[in-house]
Structure 1
Amino acid sequence: MAQPVTPKKAGALPSAPTADQATAAKLVYGLLSDSRYAYRPRPLDDALSADMYKRYLEALDGGKQFFTQADIDSFDQYKTRLDDAIKSGELEPGYAIFATYRQRVDERIAYARALLKQDIFTFDGNDEFRYDRKKAPWAADRAELDELWKQSVRNDWLRLKLAGKEADKIRETLDKRYAGLADNVAQLEGQDVFQTFLNSYTSAIDPHTSYFTPRSAENFNLSMSLSLEGIGAVLQKQDDVVAIREIMPGGPADKSGLLAPGDRVVAVGQGTSGAMEDVIGWRIDNVVALIRGPKGSQVRLDMVPAEAGMDSKPVRVLITRDRVRLEDQAAKSKVLDIPAKGNMPEKQIGIIELPGFYQDFEGRRLNKDDYASATRDVARLLRELKTKKVDGVVLDLRNNGGGSLNEAIELTGLFIDRGPVVQVRESGGRISVNSDEEPGVAWDGPFAVLVNRGSASASEIFAGAIQDYGRGLVIGETTFGKGTVQNLVDLDRWPANEEERFGQVKLTVAQFFLPGGSSTQNKGVVPDISFPASVDASEYGESTYDNALPWTRIAAVPHVTYGNFAPMLPTLEQLHSRRVANNLEFQWWREDVARFRAETAKTSISLNETERRTERDTNEARRQKRQETRKELGLALDPLALASADDGLTANERDIRQDTAREKAAEDRPDPLLQESAAILADAVYLLDNDRKLSAVVLPASTRAGHWAD
């Protein structure tokens, strides 16, 4: 693996792409304009160029904080020339716009830092900071931008003041923050500009087509495989250094006992004798690239311990790299007890949380015994839950954005005994049916799937198939609505390169449909039992994209119907409504959702200190009151009840050890939606166990699924 050597601050960006980037641009054009590859090819003409232009400006300055109308007027010469730039590989327009962007960032940051020395931090008026500028026009001139930034800096100051910081500390914190923003932009390289510019083209084709540079492609593939070769530590940029945020259990760093969260990396050397490279001020991805390496190789790190000052003498550690499994992103399980109530005895419901449909494609191709697979992990957890004799299983797919299509198919096969899972329509109109071919099931008992607006793609294939088969209940919110299939296309395969040069394209190649014929595109999967929407469809989801494919349907394919839950849904809804009416955690969650949605609808915030302090005190009093109520009623306490106040800091300004402890504590927060989902499934089990007439309608005897109606 080639190791980058990057100075603290990048010099002048090249005004033109490299030869490899020019070639990559032309290869991407060939893919996206060819119906043999792209599901919805679009001609690269002046109309698409204008769309690219708009998207590129949004990618650079979506908040309209840096460019003025005069800048936009000067850029307009490129509006209908970007198509020719892509076709020819002469991408100078993208670099020219970016050069102006970097200059404007420097100007704005210099202005913001100068404001910190002025006497503008009184907050007794009626002025506001208008932070949502997506629909605002570009600033007419620098004076208008000055006013916008002045209010932005004042808001940053007020947040820290409300958090109890003194003026000198506020000034120091903000000056360092703004300088860091300028440094981050200064460290952007030609590959970053190229990727951003090329993605203005890919995203104009459809929302889920994107270009990855070789390094970005490597990181994407690692996230899908759920494994990497390195030391097993999560890194974070903090001020001018890279620090350890988390030690992965069982990895080399953990086994060595030499590293801890908060420790800062100041130099890296390869092997036992390679030169130590000072990495202070480096981009985090360049530091990561130095620390990662093949299994069995060694790396030396000069570390400043978390509790020591940066001027302390570093400690040198030698660690042997190994293959590390990203366990925190893997499936995990637990058991929830549903208390007895009335005639219903206590039930135990198994919970499986699945963050993504991951698969180690390379490990599977090589037939490795231990390759990462969501299906294999869930199957193992189901076996464990069986031994605990749980009464039902809830698969939690909240915020699961998808992943491998094969995993979605094979995971569905754990719950159905062979049959079609998803229909795939390619660009030419050909429809193929992907089925579970494995006989038998891993779990034939009561089953439910918990989803929310963040459940997308493979999650929707799985939840929709379970719903079409009548194999289980779907509970939660209407899902994201992503009904398209992407493949990774390696651009190095055509020139047959021995090394990675051109990157990869995540290309939309097909649209998927459920066994019943419906697409999830735009509409998503609608639950059988719905919870209040935590986010509006107009704010988040496929329907918010201006170039998303519309919903449609095709013919259904024959498939077994295990059950029809419609006759029992009214009763389940009634029991659910009664229960949550008396469930404080659920009611508090509902109140918080309403408050959150009201806040997200705002486009500005008051800069009156008394008003902001009153609002802050009200929020803290509410959290304190809830905690006291939990104590009085013997409910589980919220470990973050008093840690939710705005501290005015950004993520890289917080103490890493405290922040990671807070993240860990968040895992034990009350989760009323998960608890209620388990209770709904317990209700269904009880109803079907004790109402033979209902059971005969919901679960026909010929297709009765295991223990649903024993």
Structure 2
Amino acid sequence: MTAKNTLLIALLLSAPLAGSAWADDATAVAPTGDAVPGSATRDQVTAARHVSTLLSDSRYAYRPKALDDALSADMYDRYLEALDGGKQFFTAEDIARFDAWKLRLDDALKSGELDPAYAIFATYRKRVNERVAFARALLGKDVFDFTGDDRYEYDREDAPWAASSAELDRLWTQSVRNDWLRLRMAGKEADDIRDTLDKRYENLSQGIAELKGEDVFQTFLNSYTNAIDPHTDYLTPRSADNFNLSMSLSLEGIGAVLQKQDDVVAIREIVAGGPAGKSGVLEPGDRIVGVGQGESGAMEDVVGWRIDDVVSKIRGKKGSKVRLDVIPVEMGLDTAPRRVVLVRDRVRLEDQAAKSKVIQIPALEGAPAQRIGVIELPGFYQDFEGRRRNADDYASATRDVARLLTELRGDGVDGVVLDLRNNGGGSLNEAIELTGLFIDRGPVVQVRESGGRVTVNGDEDSGIAWEGPLAVLINRGSASASEIFAGAIQDYGRGLVIGETTFGKGTVQNLFDLDRWPANEEPRFGQVKLTIAQFFRVSGSSTQNRGVVPDIAFPASVDASEFGESTYDNALPWTKIAAVPHVRYGNFQPLLPKLETLHEARIATDREFQWWSEDVAQYRAESEKTSVSLNEAERRAERDRDVAKRKARQEERKALGLDLDPLADVTDDGLSANERDIVVDTEREKLAEDRPDPLLRESAAILADAIRLLGDDKQLSAQVLPTANQPGHWAD
């Protein structure tokens, strides 16, 4: 199954919606609280009714839809895709049996009788266990001949459902053979391969067994919310809590990133400055086998627990104590654990916050060297609760970028590149306020509600944090708030936009708390991330579907048919409304041909950029494939060609004096993420951060070109920057 936009953070409005009262009708279902995946709880039935009312009401939903048979059929297809998008478990016979519910899911939601969702899931769990049993049994058989012409068909999104279990047997045989071949090519011996795969398949079954009723309910309800539009989602209370933590970049706990390995939760990373780091006694790879609360709370054995259940035990209020039984990374699991006592604190997730650095652009004939500051912004984060409390240290993308701009100004940089690649968005307020750092008051974005009313939101504060040369670097993963910011900078003529056309998400979501009306003391019903409006640029154009088109374009790394808003079958169409008056600091059109010429000349001799372009072309070609050869000689030849290519590049880097690729020698180890040594894997991640980045360097060079051209050619500067005497000027 192709995962689309799974990691993009929603664009939120911070203003709450008005609520209304809903009756809490009693229904003969399981009592309040979680249940095994077999029946809905009373709270889940109530939540489902709340959501269905919300999404069919034009006062709340931007594009409401009646809960009818047509929507039921859509829900049905999405639920099956969520469970078995790769068509690896269900048979055509299963689907024929499920079809009896295809037009009845709307009635199930209205009545609160959600048995069809749980019945389908029960079959899914059974089929997973059957497939796992089959795969594990294969490991003891002689099916691992890799000399023929067999292929493993891994992309089955558009394939028909398997006609029988025998057809699934053939599919899974090829899948297991592929897993075995990957490990064999990585140098593993047969016994080691057998143990690794047996544990892998067992973990698959165990992962399904760990799913709770709330997981099934959330998946099913999201088949409904996603049928409304791609960005409307239902969040259980726990999911809503995690979403808010991701937006605030802070939590109260011990300051450690955890990872599940087999039956044990291990420490993947220690967050600098947190209680775990300050203690000096915990290290990446340490296993947590017990958790106790306070000074004397009972120690709970957490071996075999879900990772989110362990995390919920470790998190807690600032100042409270938690006791952990830990087995050090270098010790076996049968070693007696050591007891560690930590005092919880508020932890800032600095690795996800804005960062800066400086790129040196060499001197050209007749032109001095330039220093270009770079600010990498991974998301438009904001601690909404901290801001409401007017806390001094609440997390804010705008505040962090403003601080970094001050530091870069003090460092004497000549221009700034704001790197928004793979920035999936976040807070609408942050997008507006961040734009305000570069313009001196004015509209930033237009928001149109479901009734057609358009509100103009803008920067109300006079003053500008950075008046100098600016470029914004974007790619297909830049979405929502990133598109608002990049579009505003482009519409104002305030800076150059460089890179790829963006994602194309032009809708606004708000978190709607379903516990508001009953005023529950504890979260019970969850929240809905609801599409309530569409945003438009100050020019009147929407970014919906079409995205923001850069002034200087790099080769597209991902095809628009594979990733982006346009890939959703129910995305809103592009449209346009009236523009709003705004200042035009500059018009870069006269400058662009000169920048393009210099850019093309430079990348013609830039080996890193050329290699990147070659890799993009190869990736695009590989993405068209739906199968892989199971012939070992053929696979080894492909791998050897790839290794030789990377080795040759590394040698050329040495000869040219370029930065070496720290991952040039890394090859496929055949392992999944939770099977790798945590310490080695995290070190590899850190090395990846130091890989050559020709796109960022070229963006800095393009900005340096613009600064030089406008500084040298007064006539061109007058064309491009007619308001050079106003804030936002580039040349003196």
TM range (shorter): over 0.9
Picking from 184, 187, 212, the partner of 1:164 is: 187
Q: Which amino acid aligns with 1:651?
A: A
Q: Please tell me whether residue 364 in structure 1 is matched to residue 387 in structure 2.
A: yes
Matches within 5 A, 1:322-361: 322-361=345-384
Distance 1:446 1:183, change over 3 A: same
| Aligned residues of 2:147 and 2:632 also touching (Cα < 8 A) | yes
1:424–1:433 CA contact under 8 A, matched in 2: yes
CA distance in 2, matches of 1:513, 1:300: 51
Does 1:20 pair with 2:7? no
1:702 CA drift (Å) = 6.0
Letter in 2 for 1:126: D
Residue 174 of structure 2 corresponds to which residue in structure 1?
Answer: 151
Tell me what 2:453 maps to. Answer: 430
Residue aligning to 1:525: 548
Aligned residue identity for 1:130: E
Alignment of 1:57-206 (within 5 A): 57-206=80-229
Give the letter aligned to residue 682 of structure 1.
Answer: A
Q: Deviations over 1:138-167 (max 9, x none)?
A: 000000000000000000000000000000
SS at match of 1:493: coil
Do 2:723 and 2:729's aligned partners in 1 also have CA atoms closer than 8 Å?
no
Match of 2:396 in 1: 373
Q: Deviations over 1:92-150 (max 9, x none)?
A: 11000000000000000000000000001110000100000000000000000000000
Q: Deviations over 1:594-614 (max 9, x none)?
A: 111111110000000000000
- Which of 701, 705, 716 matches 1:683? 705
Conserved? CA contact 2:439–2:728, under 8 Å:
no
Deviation at 1:313, TM superposition (A): 1.1
SS in 2 for 1:566: coil
1:267–1:277 Cα contact (<8 Å) kept? yes
Distance (whole Å) between structure 1 residues aligned to residue 656 and residue 594 of structure 2: 28
1:48 has 2:45 as partner: no
Deviation at 1:15, TM superposition (A): 2.8
Measured after TM superposition, the shift of residue 634 of structure 1 is 1.1
What's 1:661 paired with? 683
Q: How much does 1:13 deviate?
A: 2.8
Secondary structure, aligned partner of 1:269: strand
In the TM superposition, residue 343 of structure 1 has moved relative to its aligned partner by 2.0
CA positional deviation for 1:330: 0.3
Q: CA deviation at 1:344?
A: 2.2
Structure 2 length as normaliser, TM-score? 0.95
Structure-1 separation of matches of 2:589 and 2:101: 57
1:443 aligns with 2:466: yes
Mapped to 1, the partners of 2:618 and 2:486 lie a distance apart of 29
Which SS does the other structure have where 2:590 is aligned?
helix
Deviation at 1:239, TM superposition (A): 1.2
Query: Which residue of structure 2 lines up, in the alignment, with residue 299 of structure 1?
Result: 322
Conserved? CA contact 2:37–2:122, under 8 Å: no
Rounded Cα–Cα distance in structure 1 between residues aligned with 2:520 and 2:337: 41
- SS of residue paired to 1:67: coil
Is residue 2:47 matched to residue 1:35? no
Map Cα deviations across residues 437-486 of structure 1 (whole Å, 9 max, x no partner).
00010001000000000000000000000000000000000000000000
224, 227, 247: which one pairs with 1:224? 247
How big is the shift at 1:57?
Answer: 0.1
Per mean C-alpha deviation after superposition, the further-off stretch among 564-573 and 82-91 is: 82-91
- Quote how far apart the aligned CAs of 1:704 are: 4.5
The 2-side partners of 1:620 and 1:706 are apart by 48
Runs of 4 or more off by more than 3 Å in structure 1? 701-707
Task: Choose which of 574, 587, 594 in structure 2 pairs with 1:564.
Answer: 587
Q: Contact between 1:563 and 1:703, CA under 8 Å: does it hold in 2?
A: no
Kept in 2: contact 1:447–1:472 (CA 8 A): yes
SS for the counterpart of 2:443 is strand
Deviation, structure 1 residue 12 = 8.6
Counterpart secondary structure, 1:533 = coil
Residue identity over aligned pairs, in percent, reads 76
Aligned residue identity for 2:541? S
Provide structure 2 residue ranges, at least 5 long, that are not aligned to the other structure.
Answer: 1-33
Q: CA separation in 2, counterparts of 1:31 and 1:145?
A: 41
Structure 1 residue 709 displacement after superposition? 1.2
1:602-631 CA distance string (max 9 Å, x none): 000000000000001111111111111111
Determine helix, strand or coil for the equivalent of 1:524. Answer: coil
Does the residue aligned with 1:492 lie in a helix, a strand or coil? coil
Q: Does 1:496 align with 2:510?
A: no
Structure 2 counterpart SS, 1:505: strand
Where does the alignment leave 5 or more consecutive residues of structure 1 unmatched?
1-10
Counterpart amino acid of 1:279?
V
AA partner of residue 219 (structure 1): N
1:567 alignment partner, SS class: coil
Q: Provide the C-alpha distance between the structure 2 equivalents of 1:178 and 1:202, rounded to a whole number of angstroms.
A: 32
Is contact 1:13–1:99 with CA below 8 Å preserved after alignment? no
CA deviation vs aligned residue, 1:629-680 (integer Å, no higher than 9, x gap): 111111111111111x111000000000001111111111100000000000
What is the aligned partner in structure 1 of residue 3 from structure 2? none
Does residue 628 in structure 1 map to residue 631 in structure 2? no
Shift of 1:272: 1.5
SS in 2 for 1:511: strand
In 2, the alpha carbon distance for the partners of 1:175 and 1:150 equals: 14
The answer to whether the 8 A contact 2:35-2:212 is kept is: no
CA RMSD of superposed structures (Å): 0.9
